[in-house]
Amino acid sequence: MPLDNNTILDAIKQAKTQSGGKKFNQAVDMILDIQEIDMKTPEGKIQEVVELPKPTGKPNKVCIVASGEFAFKARNAQADFVLEKADLEDLAGKKKELRKLATDNDIFVVEASLMPLVGRILGPVLGPRGKMPIPVPLTADINTILTKNRNTVLVRMRNQPIIQVSIGTEQMSDEDLVENAQAILRVLDGKLKRGLKNVKFMFIKTSMGEPVKIKP
């Protein structure tokens, strides 16, 4: 079972006091040291998108790859960036522009029929960043898609048994940060072979602050 709220709450409060008093809204990260896991197995290649229950104040930038009416709807819904089919085809082979696109946007939502084209052109730059495109049908509600994906995080473990993921920002309430942390822990509890018993240590830290250690 996930850790009790008070344990995480105390760690978040301590991490905030050790944040260094910077003049910007620092991210609050949860870092998990995973034990007793074979990194060569599928279990060692965790990659899960988790929708956080509380908004972080720093919403993801969502790029919509679409054509025709769906692209029109995406612009009306104020998607952060809309990439139409012709523009995508024009980017083929332009590595610098593709890397910038992959860096500038956090989430890529793709009209289902365009997935093969996106895989060919954008796949090489999105894959290494863990930003796998999300296919959606033409009938999907664009506003719902944007709302959901602006508040997701990627929980990823590759090469090393470490997971580092943002649970929000220091301007959020301590209680909201706890809720976001618990949402991630619940997913990992179901993905790891022994659940949270596979977590050796857990840390909470702000971008510029000292980590606060929790032993499950």
Give yes or no for residue 1 having a pLDDT over 80: no
pLDDT (0 to 100) of residue 106? 94
Q: Rounded mean pLDDT of 33-39?
A: 90
pLDDT digits (tens, 9 = 90+) for 112-138: 999 999 999 999 999 988 888 999 999
For the segment 3-32, the average pLDDT, to the nearest whole number, is 89
Residue 169 neighbours by CB under 8 Å, 6+ apart = 25, 26, 27, 28, 56, 57, 58
What does the pLDDT read at residue 98? 95
Which domains, from first to last, does the chain contain? 5-57+151-214 (3.30.190.20), 62-149 (3.40.50.790)
Tell me: the pLDDT tens digits for 76-108? 999 999 999 999 999 999 999 999 999 999 999
pLDDT above 80 for 43:
no
pLDDT of residue 149: 93
Measured from the Cβ of residue 18, the count of other Cβ atoms closer than 10 Å reads 16
**To the nearest whole percent, how much of the chain has pLDDT over 70?**
99
Q: What is the pLDDT of residue 132?
A: 87
Supply 61's token pair: 């930038």
Question: What angle (nearest 5°) sits at the alpha carbon of residue 30, between those of residues 28 and 32?
Answer: 160
185 pLDDT higher than 90? yes
Pure H helices in the chain: 5-17, 68-76, 85-90, 95-104, 115-121, 123-126, 142-149, 174-191
Backbone angles phi, psi at 160, to 5 degrees: -125, 145
| Cβ atoms < 10 Å from Cβ of 139 | 6
Give the pLDDT band (50/70/90) at residue 2: low
